[in-house]
Chain A
Amino acid sequence: MNLLLSSLRVSYDGRPVLRGLDLEVASGEFFCLLGPSGCGKTTALRVTAGFLRPDEGRVLFGGRDVTGEPPHRRDVGMVFQNYALFPHLDAHENVAFGLRMRGLPRRERAARADEALARVGLEGLGRRRVHELSGGEQQRVALARAIVVRPGLLLLDEPLSNLDARLRLELRGELLRLQRDLGVPAVYVTHDQEDAIFLSDRLAVMRDGALLQVGTPEEVCRRPADPFVADFVGRTAALQGAVTETAPGRIRATLPGGDVVEATWVGPAPPAGAPVTLLLRPEGIRAFAQR
Chain B
Amino acid sequence: MRSRSASARFGPATWALVALAFLVPVAYAVYPTASVLSRSLVADGAWTLRHYRAFLETPNARAALFNSLWLSLASVALAGGIGTALAFLFGRLHFPLRAPLSALVVFPYALPPLLGTLSLYYLLGPSGIVPRLLGAPVALSGFGAVLAVHAYTLYPLFYLFVSAALRSLDRTQLDAAAALGASPARVFREVTLPHLRPALLGASLLVFMASMASFSAPLFFAGDRNVLSLAIYHARSYHDLGLCYAETAALAAVSLGLLVALQALGVASPGARASGKAGAPLERRRLLGAGGALAAAGSAVLVLALLTPHLLIFLLAFARNGSWTDEVLPPVYTLENLTTLFRDPATLQPLGNSLAMAATAAVGNALYGLGAGWLLARRLRRGRAALTLLVLLPWALPGTVIGVALVTAFGRTHPLALGGVLVGSWAILPLAYFLRNLPLTVQPVEGALARLDPAIEEAARSLGAPAPRAFRLVTLPLVLPGLLAGALLAFVTGLGEFVASVLLYTGRSTWPVSVAIYSELRSFRFGTAFAYGALVLLLIGGLLPLAGRLSRR
Contacts and interface: CB of A to CB of B under 8 A. Distances in A.
Interface of A: 12-13, 42, 46, 49-53, 70-72, 74-78, 80-82, 84-88, 97-98, 101-102, 145, 149, 155
Nearest to B470: A72
B462 A71 contact: yes
26 contacts: A12-B1, A42-B2, A46-B6, A52-B6, A71-B462, A72-B461, A72-B464, A72-B466, A77-B462, A77-B463, A78-B462, A80-B455, A81-B455, A82-B453, A82-B455, A84-B453, A84-B456, A86-B456, A86-B459, A87-B456, A97-B460, A97-B465, A101-B463, A145-B463, A149-B463, A149-B464
B458 interface: yes
Contacts of B89: none
Nearest to B5: A12
Contacts of A51: 6, 458, 461-462
Nearest to A103: B464
A81 B458 CA distance: 12
Contact of B464 (A82, A84, A88, A102): A102
B420 interface: no
B464 A101 contact: yes
A193 to B, nearest CB: 24
Contacts of A81: 455
Contacts of B474: 86, 88
B459 A84 contact: yes
Given A75-B464, A97-B460, A145-B463, 4 more contacts: A52-B6, A78-B459, A97-B465, A97-B473
A49 B477 contact: no
A243 B470 CA distance: 51
The SS class assigned to the B binding surface is helix
**Size bin of chain B's contact surface:** 20 to 34
Nearest to A52: B6
A76 B462 contact: yes
B3 to A, nearest CB: 10
B477 A88 contact: yes
B467 A98 contact: no
B478 interface: yes
Nearest to A75: B464
Given A13-B5, A51-B6, A52-B6, A84 B458 contact: yes
B466 A70 contact: yes
B453 A72 contact: no
Contacts of B464: 72, 75, 98, 101-102, 149
A97 B473 CA distance: 10
Contacts, number: 80
B1 A50 contact: no
Interface of B: 1-2, 5-6, 8-9, 453, 455-456, 458-467, 469-470, 473-474, 477-478
Contacts of B465: 72, 97, 101
A50 B6 CA distance: 11
A76 B464 CA distance: 9
Nearest to A51: B458
A284 B479 CA distance: 47
Contacts of A78: 458-459, 462
Contact of B462 (A52, A72, A87, A88): A72
Nearest to A155: B462
By Cβ-Cβ distance, the 3 closest A-B pairs, closest first, are A101-B464, A98-B463, A84-B455
Contact of B458 (A77, A80, A85): A80
Contacts of A102: 464
Contacts of A88: 474, 477-478
Contacts of A74: 462
Nearest to A101: B464
B395 to A, nearest CB: 30
Nearest to B458: A51
Nearest to B469: A101
Contacts of A49: 458, 462
A97 B463 contact: yes
A133 to B, nearest CB: 16
B478 A87 contact: yes
Nearest to B480: A88
Contacts of B461: 50-51, 70-72
A81 B453 CA distance: 11
Contacts of B469: 101
A165 B448 CA distance: 32
A179 B90 CA distance: 57
B39 to A, nearest CB: 44
Contacts of A82: 453, 455
Contacts of B462: 49-51, 71-72, 74, 76-78, 155
A139 to B, nearest CB: 14
Contacts of A155: 462
A70 B467 contact: yes
A86 to B, nearest CB: 6
Contacts of A98: 463-464
A42 B461 CA distance: 17
Contacts of B8: 12-13
Nearest to A17: B5
A51 B7 CA distance: 10
Contacts of A86: 456, 459-460, 474
A2 to B, nearest CB: 19
Contacts of A84: 453, 455-456, 458-459
B454 to A, nearest CB: 9
A49 to B, nearest CB: 5
Query: Considering residues A53, A85, A86, which has the most beta carbons from chain B within 10 angstroms of its beta carbon?
Result: A86
Contacts of B473: 97
Contacts of A50: 461-462
B5 A71 contact: no
A145 B458 CA distance: 13
A132 to B, nearest CB: 16
B119 to A, nearest CB: 42
A42 B467 CA distance: 21
Nearest to B452: A87
A72 B465 CA distance: 5
B325 to A, nearest CB: 60
A78 B456 CA distance: 11
Contacts of B2: 42, 46
Contacts of B478: 87-88
A155 B5 CA distance: 21
B267 to A, nearest CB: 29
Contacts of A76: 462
A85 B2 CA distance: 18
A104 to B, nearest CB: 11
A184 B459 CA distance: 19
B223 to A, nearest CB: 56
Query: Considering residues A13, A72, A82, which has the most beta carbons from chain B within 10 angstroms of its beta carbon?
Result: A72
A130 B459 CA distance: 15
